[in-house]
Amino acid sequence: MADSNVATRSRSSLRAAARLSRRDAINLLVVAGGVLFVLLALPSLLTPYWVVTSTSAVTFMIVALGLGLLVGRVGMISLGQGAVLALGAWVGARLLFATALPYPIVLVMTGLITMVLGTMIGLPALRVSGLYLALVTLMLAGAITVVLVDTNFPNGGSGFLGYADQSTGTPPSIRRPSIAESDPAFFRYVVIVALLMFLLALWHIRGKPGRAWAAIRQSEPAALAAGVNVTVYKMWAFALASFVTGIAGALLGSASHVLYAYTFPTSQSIVLFAVVLMGGVYTLFGAVIAGVLLQVIPGAFTVWGIPSEWATILFGVGVLQVLTTAPAGIAHQLPSDLARLGRFLFGVARRRIPAGGRAP
Amino acid sequence: MRKHFGWRVRIPVAMLVVAVGLTIAATGFSKTSGAHAVKAAGLACGLGTGQKATGTPIKIGAIAVKQAGTDFTDIPNMANAYFQCVNDNGGIYGHPIVQDLLTDQTDPGALAADAKQLIETDHVVGIAGSSDIIDCAVNSAYYKKMHFNVLEAGIAEQCYSSPAEAPVNMGPRYSADGATQTAIALHAKKIAFDQSNVPGTQYNLGGSKLIAKAAHVPIQFLTEDAANINGETAAEKEVQAAGPGGAVVLVFTPPVALAILQGAQHLGLENKVIWTCATPCNTDFLATALGSAWNHKLYVNAEMNLISQDNGPNSVLYQKVLKLYGSNVAGGIGSFSQFGFLLGQLAVKGLLSIKSKVYTPQTVNAAFKALKNFKTDFLCKPWYFGPLPNNTDFTVYPQDGKMVLVPKSGCLPISTVDPLVKQVRAYEKAHHV
Amino acid sequence: MPSWSNFQPFIPIGLAAGGVYALSGVGMVVLYRATGVLNLAFGAIGAMGALIAWTMINTWHVPAGIAYVACILFGGVATLLYGMVFGRLLAARDPLVKAAATLGLALLMLGVMNRLWPAQVTRSITLPTDNTAFTFGDASVDWTQVIAVGFGVVMTVGTAIFLRVTKIGTAMRALADDREITATLGVPVRRVEAAAWFGSGLLAGAAGLLLADLVTLASDGLTFIVIFTLSAALIARLRSLTVTFVAAMVIGLVDNLITPINSITNFRDMTPFVLAIAALLFFSRERQYSFARGGIR
């Protein structure tokens, strides 16, 4: 009796394992298919306007990835990621003007420098959590924004700040990778960089940091008691988020070729947080949705002639909706909504075609 | 639990519906402003035939900045209002003009994309009515490459130096020059020049610096964070910098200028120094809001004439078009809509001048470039396609709730100490423009 | 280095600016103490009330006094509506979630305001108290500024007394501390909450009106002024009304006193942020602070 029970149990668990890996495999295929489509087919299908907008969308997916990591995995709210993005853009632009290093190296350097800056700036914030942390990061972002308005963004000038108030003629251009000068080529480049960032995040999540973060999010005291070095892992999360956001900043500079301080207002950090919430902070797919929401919707509104205030209204309603009914965001809500829709339609279809000729 | 969930879903949806309802009820469908019956009898728009144009449309593009605190869409919207009037009056030999307007949020990447969208995807035949903080900086090289000659209301330096751009206005630099000249003419002992700290500050103050130096008047340059302006702090700072017997030159958008002037009034500073301002202060609204305490105390360099006191044909037509077709021009009568109206008129004149009646980017842009000798009561001198055609303008000050021309001020030529002005005057003299 | 006569005029200006920060700061901390919600839409609600008052005065030609009352009432009603719907829905959630939801409200209101009151039109509100109260050296102080500071003081003291002495006030404090237990103790939770929301909303409306006169009547400016006032609330660790008030006044003073110093004047706007961060570093020297409904533990 016992033997057959064990056998049945082990058979069913094997079957369960096989089913799980099949679902994983399907997910992987879908994602790979999507990425290939975006890389190969999409640029030629889009107009130049949409190629640029999509490039921004993918760049902001990287930013959303960093913020989503902080919020969803570790439970730390940072309302200052906009400022980290601006910092990354500054560092990237400075390096691109000052050196002739290959683009990928500049990207990594920018990521590392922003990582150090972001962690240093985040250090005081590590001692607090919850709402207090959110407010402090907002304060830090505000301070950085004021400094950036004064120092401006590098534009090929000399000196540490690299800013020359040269308003005559065409402003010097922040360069792009030599293999990806055109807009469609740069779009593909950005998609590949984004992919690498997502893989980096995934590697962390699946590994030891991910487990430590989950423990911290669950309960900080418990994690501490379990021997997790809470401060180090929190710093690590900040560092990773700053790293990817810094790289995104550098990409933004190359995308626009010129940077201005008012492209990074403090309110952007708030909208970013709102949209990341809407997209969903518990899955990587949520970051993809957030990037789309942040850039594609306003972009679409512009070409369709819909006033831009509607995007702001949409985001406001979206945040309220997400927090009250769907805390896991659209990433979770959409599949389950679609499933519910599917069941509803199926039910309607069944009623329309009465079984056995009897009315419902 | 399920009952709760149903309730939870309905509330946000209800909120959205309320918000939508409120907004639609209040603003209506602003896009259909020109769709009412042809009331154009007697309006001298374009050909003035009174017949609705029904041929293949002519697409004219425009880019305008629209973001928190800075919205210049009144300019292309007013140009479009004029286009609608023209369309109700025969159009361009039967062809209606359709405006393709893209708004921008000072995002240089999106701006470059906007320009490409207009020219390469939407295939506009010309661009007229643009007004954006950085469009000229980001796109003028592209416009030149594509052989587009853009009619715009400019701000950045490239709007006045690129051969592909022609402005109807002076922009902050030259208007500030005029304000500085006025301050010097009023015997200011020192000048405090204050502006918003958005990029381009050095360009804006460049002319005033030279003018003050040539007149041996010391000048100090300040900046403010316009988004978080504290009117009193700014006013006090400016007055201290100007010193006794000094003058303050304000280069700000109307709401910020108003905050500063009201701050000055709270502190009783309106009599302490000479107050001057660049064009944005030229609105009756400002005169009304400031009240009689400011009568004759704020000298404004006005790039366009005072509509309320001018019965010239353009001013009259402008008001009629604004009333009939300008429902989405939120600012009403004012410099912005005047710029837009003039841009619309210029575009139409250009289009009507195309003898072949074939409207392609080549013909239209050549026509725009050939525009000259356009007389209008808006301006002191006739307009022509060039880097700074509007280089002589008016001086006004508030009086009992309205802006009025300063008596005996006439048309003020901007000083040739500023290099581009010198260049342009020489060109005008040589070509008898 | 500027002389005393350069600094002197900035003292009343700084105090008035501080009064402005204090209005919003105290209003937000008051609501926080009573409901556990940090209402980040405080500025937006006040802004909308002020814009409604503007429309009533300028478009419908309603007497100004009625318009001002309408503004204040709008603040109360709008906040109450939000509190009754979303406040209740999220009552059991983390303070962070509750605050984030008010961010959603702020964005929504901002969009609606910009739609209904387009930014191209310059608007202003001039209160009848805008005439000079007294002069302080070179600078004159007007009654609106006196009211702003006085209002801040009255709100601080009055609310502190209210929360400590009255039955409803005590109930509010209990509610903020632990909603469930308070409910089981027979306190009419919903009524108390409603009172807290409504009262705080009235404050938001009043603050909006004063700010519209003192600073600007622009939706974006008034909405995001909360970022500055948060710094005062942060220094008080969202607990003490008095510290919020004092911090706000200090921020306003320091910010303005820096103005005549040419070398750092461009960094004036960092003052609230720098002070808040400095306070944070000072307070978290040894301990870790986490945020629970009652305040910092």
Whether residue B237 contacts residue C260, with contact meaning beta carbons closer than 8 Å, is answered with yes
CB contact under 8 A, C122 and B258: yes
What pLDDT is recorded for position B319?
94
**Angstroms from A106 CA to nearest CA on chain C:** 30
Query: Least CA distance to C133: which residue of chain B?
Result: B266
The answer, for A266 touching chain C at a CB cutoff of 8 Å, is yes
Give CA–CA dist A331/C104, Å, rounded: 19
pLDDT one digit per residue (tens) for chain B, 433 residues: 333 445 555 566 666 666 666 666 555 434 344 444 445 556 889 998 888 999 999 999 999 998 776 889 999 999 999 999 999 999 999 999 999 999 988 888 888 889 999 999 999 999 999 999 889 988 998 999 999 999 999 988 889 989 999 999 999 999 999 999 999 999 999 999 999 988 788 889 999 999 999 999 999 999 998 877 888 899 999 999 999 999 999 999 888 898 899 889 878 888 999 999 999 898 888 888 888 889 999 999 999 998 888 889 999 999 999 999 999 998 888 889 999 999 999 999 999 999 999 999 999 999 999 999 999 999 999 999 999 999 999 999 999 989 999 998 889 999 999 999 999 999 999 987 6
Which CATH code fits B58-170+310-369? 3.40.50.2300
pLDDT greater at residue B43 or residue A344? B43
Please state the rounded mean pLDDT for residues A42-68: 91
The answer, for A275 touching chain C at a CB cutoff of 8 Å, is no
Mean of the per-residue pLDDT values of chain C? 84
**Angstroms from A52 CA to nearest CA on chain B:** 6
What pLDDT is recorded for position C174?
79
The answer, for C249 touching chain A at a CB cutoff of 8 Å, is no
Which amino acid, C49? Answer: G
Q: Considering CB atoms only, which of A55, A167, A302 is closest to B102?
A: A302
E strand segments, B253-304: 274-277, 298-302
- Which domain, by its residues, includes C111? 4-119+126-284+291-295
CB contact under 8 A, B283 and C265: no
- Which domain, by its residues, includes A176? 48-352
Beta-carbon contacts of residue A95 (< 8 Å; ≥ 6 apart): A101, A106, A109, A110, A250
CB-defined contacts B:C, below 8 A: 110
Residue A331 belongs to domain with CATH number: 1.10.3470
CB contact under 8 A, C120 and B19: no
What pLDDT is recorded for position C21?
80
A313 chain-C contacts, CB cut-off 8 A: 107-108, 111-112, 115
The answer, for A308 touching chain B at a CB cutoff of 8 Å, is yes
Q: Which residues of A23-49 are buried (b: 16+ CB within 10 A; e: fewer)?
A: eeeeeeeeeeeeeeebeeebbeebebb
C237 chain-A contacts, CB cut-off 8 A: 132
Q: Is residue A207 part of a domain?
A: yes
Q: How many domains is chain A partitioned into structurally?
A: 1
Task: Identify which of B142, B143, B150 has the alpha carbon closest to the alpha carbon of residue B346.
Answer: B150
Give CA–CA dist C257/C253, Å, rounded: 6
Domain ranges within chain B, ordered by starting residue: 58-170+310-369, 172-302+393-431
Q: Considering CB atoms only, which of B66, B113, B199 is closest to A53?
A: B113
Interface test with A, best of B63, B107, B124 (most A CBs within 10 A): B107
The answer, for C7 touching chain B at a CB cutoff of 8 Å, is no
From the number of C-beta atoms within 10 Å of its C-beta (0-12, 13-18, 19+), residue A160 rates as exposed
pLDDT digits (tens, 9 = 90+) for A250-261: 999 999 888 887
**Angstroms from A206 CA to nearest CA on chain C:** 27
Half-sphere exposure of B31 (CA within 13 A, CB side): 9
Q: Considering CB atoms only, which of C89, C270, C277 is closest to A136?
A: C277
User: How far, in Å, are B283, B398, C124 from residue B401 at the CA level?
Assistant: 10, 7, 14
B71 chain-C contacts, CB cut-off 8 A: 118-120
What pLDDT is recorded for position B88?
93
Q: Quick one: what percent of chain C has pLDDT higher than 90?
A: 25
CB contact under 8 A, A260 and B114: no
The answer, for A4 touching chain B at a CB cutoff of 8 Å, is no
Is 90 exceeded by the pLDDT of residue A21?
no
Whether residue C51 contacts residue C113, with contact meaning beta carbons closer than 8 Å, is answered with yes
Rounded (10°) CA dihedral B194, B199, B200, B206: 50
What pLDDT is recorded for position B234?
93
Please state the rounded mean pLDDT for residues A319-347: 74
Beta-carbon contacts of residue B187 (< 8 Å; ≥ 6 apart): B245
What pLDDT is recorded for position B27?
56
What pLDDT is recorded for position B119?
95
Please state the rounded mean pLDDT for residues A41-59: 89
pLDDT digits (tens, 9 = 90+) for C44-87: 999 999 999 999 999 999 999 999 999 999 999 999 999 989 98
Task: Identify which of B422, B339, B378 has the alpha carbon closest to the alpha carbon of residue B166.
Answer: B339
CB contact under 8 A, B286 and C122: yes
Quick one: tokens of C296? Answer: 């910092």
Is 80 exceeded by the pLDDT of residue C259?
yes
Q: What is the pTM of this model?
A: 0.86
Q: Which residues pair with B63 in a beta bridge?
A: B102
C 174-213 → A contacts, CB under 8 A: none
What pLDDT is recorded for position B11?
61
A271 chain-C contacts, CB cut-off 8 A: 107
C 12-41 → B contacts, CB under 8 A: 13, 16-17
Q: Is residue A25 part of a domain?
A: no
In the three-class reduction of DSSP (H, G, I as helix; E, B as strand; rest coil), residue A207 is classed as: coil
**Angstroms from C126 CA to nearest CA on chain B:** 8
Please write down the HEC assignment for all residues of A212-271. HHHHHHHCHHHHHHCCCCHHHHHHHHHHHHHHHHHHHHHHHHHHHCCCCHHHCCHHHHHH
CB contact under 8 A, B8 and A325: yes
CB contact under 8 A, A320 and B15: yes
Which amino acid, C120? Answer: Q
Interface test with C, best of A78, A121, A127 (most C CBs within 10 A): A127
Beta-carbon contacts of residue C183 (< 8 Å; ≥ 6 apart): C189
CB contact under 8 A, A48 and B106: no
Q: Considering CB atoms only, which of B19, B230, B330 is closest to C108?
A: B19
CB contact under 8 A, C10 and B233: yes
A 77-96 → C contacts, CB under 8 A: 77
User: How far, in Å, are A317, B31, B64, C43 from residue A310 at the CA level?
Assistant: 10, 15, 18, 20
C 117-146 → A contacts, CB under 8 A: none
Quick one: tokens of B227? Answer: 């988004």
Find where tokens 């997790």 sit: A228
Please state the rounded mean pLDDT for residues A196-223: 90
Q: Report strand pairing: B392-399 vs B191-196.
A: unpaired
pLDDT digits (tens, 9 = 90+) for C82-139: 998 998 888 878 888 888 899 999 999 999 998 899 877 778 888 888 777 777 666 6
In the three-class reduction of DSSP (H, G, I as helix; E, B as strand; rest coil), residue B181 is classed as: helix
Q: How many domains is chain C partitioned into structurally?
A: 1
Q: What DSSP state is assigned to residue A175?
A: P
Q: Report strand pairing: B298-302 vs B191-196.
A: unpaired
Work out the pLDDT band at C291, boundaries 50, 70, 90.
very low
In the three-class reduction of DSSP (H, G, I as helix; E, B as strand; rest coil), residue A128 is classed as: strand
Interface test with B, best of C57, C120, C130 (most B CBs within 10 A): C120
Q: How many CB atoms lie within 10 A of CB B347?
A: 29
Interface test with A, best of B98, B117, B146, B209 (most A CBs within 10 A): B117
In the three-class reduction of DSSP (H, G, I as helix; E, B as strand; rest coil), residue A174 is classed as: coil
Beta-carbon contacts of residue B409 (< 8 Å; ≥ 6 apart): B394, B395
Which CATH code fits B172-302+393-431? 3.40.50.2300
Q: How many CB atoms lie within 10 A of CB B54?
A: 11
Interface test with C, best of A161, A224, A320 (most C CBs within 10 A): A320
**Angstroms from C16 CA to nearest CA on chain A:** 22
Query: Least CA distance to B173: which residue of chain A?
Result: A167
Interface test with C, best of B266, B285, B336 (most C CBs within 10 A): B266
Give CA–CA dist B200/B191, Å, rounded: 20
The answer, for C265 touching chain B at a CB cutoff of 8 Å, is yes
Query: Least CA distance to A278: which residue of chain C?
Result: C104
Whether residue C137 contacts residue A346, with contact meaning beta carbons closer than 8 Å, is answered with no
Q: Which residues of B203-220 are buried (b: 16+ CB within 10 A; e: fewer)?
A: bbbbbbbbbbeebebebb
What does the longest C-alpha to C-alpha distance in chain B come to?
Answer: 84
CB contact under 8 A, A313 and C103: no
Please tell me whether the interface predicted TM-score (ipTM) of this complex is above 0.90.
no
CB-defined contacts A:C, below 8 A: 147
